[in-house]
Amino acid sequence: MHPNKSHTHTPPYGPLVAGTPFTCSLFYSFPSFLRLPQFKRMLNRELSHLSEMSRSGNQVSEYISNTFLDKQNEVEIPSPTQKQQDKPMCHISGVRKLTRSSSQANPIVPRFGVKTEHEDALSRELNDLNKWGLNIFRVADFSSNRPLSCIMFAIFQAVFTDLEILAALFAAAIHDVDHPGVSNQFLINTNSELALMYNDESVLENHHLAVGFKLLHEENCDIFQNLTKRQRQSLRKMVIDMVLATDMSKHMSLLADLKTMVETKKVTSSGVLLLDHYTDRIQVLRNMVHCADLSNPTKPLDVYRQWTERIMEEFFRQGDKERERGMEISPMCDKHTASVEKSQVGFIDYIVHPLWETWGDLVHPDAQDILDTLEDNRDWYQSTIPQSPSPPPDLGDPQLEGCLDKFQFQLTLEEPDQNHLTEDCCAEEEEEEEVMEEEAEDEKLRPFFEPCEKKQTI
C-alpha cells in the first residue's frame, strides 16, 4: 500500500521498454478545441512508434488500436454451420429460470441477502463498502461466491430519492451480465447469433442490457415495480445510455466529450458545472460507469494484480479458441508471445490515466488518492518488465567489422527514364507538401501534448 501523499499530482512517465527512452508525448491533457480526428491521428502515430520498438510492443499497440479506437477491420466471416434452429431470433439467451429451494422459500431473509457461514467476517468486509479499496475477492470468499448479490443487497437497503443514482447502480450491476468471455470482434468474426441479432454494433453491451431487463420479468424480480410508468421509462433510457458507454470502442469519443466538459467547468465564473440538462447529467453518469469499468489499475496493487491475472486468462482462452479455429489470434490473446507487464504499462499510459486524470479534474480533489495509486501501480509493472538479455553489439569491435566486410555488396541501378523521373519527382513534392502541412498543424498543438515530468516522491 502506498503512503498518503500531499504532493501536487503530475502524470507518471518513464521508459515503456526497459532501457529504451519512452518518447510518447501523449494525452494527459489535450485542448478542448482539438478535433477528434486530429486526436486519433496523433495517437496512431504514437502507437506506430510503439509497435516498431519490439514484438510485444506491436501487440500492445494493436490491442489498444483495435479495442479503443473504434477501428473497422475487414474480416473474413466463415460460412454458418448447418444446425437446427430451435429458438427464434428474438430469443434472449442467458436468462435462466429461477429454481426455488426450501431455504429460498423461507421468509427470513439473510442479513446480507445471501446465505453464509461467515456472516461476521462478511460484515467486517462490508464496513469498507464505501471505500475505493474494497476487496471484492474477500467478499466473494465470505458470501458463498455471490459478491454482487451481497453488495447490491447492502446498497439497496438504503432509501433512494434520486432516480439517476438508482439507474447508475442498476447499470453497474448488469453491465457485464452473461458475458461469454470473448470480445465483440470475436463474436463478429465467428458469425455468432449475438452478432447477427445486434448487427455487429456493441454486440455484448446490447446483450447485457437485454438480459438485465429480461430478468426483471422473472417472478419476484422486478425491483422497479413501484416506479411510475414515466419513472421506469426514464430509468430504462439512462441504463441503456450508461451500459452502451462501456463499449471500449467508444472510449475516445467519451474521453473527448469529458475533456470538453472539464474545460467548460474551468472557464465558468463559479468553477462549478450546472447540470441542468439531461445530456449533461447523462454524460457524467456515462463516464462514471466507464471509469468504474476501467478501474482495475487504480485499485490497491494486490487487488489489481488478481484482476490482471483473471483478465489475461480470459484473453488467452479466447486466443486458444482462435488458434483451434485457424483464425488470426487477437492482440494480447496469444499466451506464447503476450507481455503482461508491457501491456499493463501501455494500457495505463494510453487509456486509463488520461481518462482518470480528466475525471479527477472534474471531481477535484476527490480522486487524488486514486490517481496516486494508479501511478504507483504503473511504476510497479514498469519495474517488472524484463531487462534486455544482452547489450547491443559494439560496432567499433574489429572482429565485428571483419564479419561485416564479408557481407558487403554493390547494387547497380539502371539509368531511369527521364520522363518517369520527372513524374516521380512531382509526386514526391506533392506528398512532401501534404506532410509538411500536417506537421505544421500538429506543431501548433504540440505544447498541449508534451509529457509532464515524472512525479517526485516526497
> Which residues carry a binding-site annotation?
175-176, 293
* Side chain identity, residue 134: L
**Nearest CA-CA partner of 50 in 60, 40, 38, 41:** 60
- DSSP 3-state assignment of 181? coil
Which secondary structure element, helix H or strand E, spans residue 438, and what is its range? helix 418-445
**Nearest CA-CA partner of 42 in 58, 25, 29, 20:** 25
In contact, 214 and 224? CB cutoff 8 Å:
no
φ and ψ of 17, to 5 deg: -115, 130
- DSSP 3-state assignment of 20? strand
- DSSP 3-state assignment of 398? helix
**Nearest CA-CA partner of 255 in 448, 30, 6, 41:** 30
Rg (CA), the chain: 26
Helix, strand, coil in percent for the chain, rounding step 5: 55, 0, 45
Under 8 Å CB-to-CB from 437, ≥6 apart: which residues?
none
Three cell numbers written together for 171: 447499470
Positions at the binding site for Zn(2+): 175-176, 293
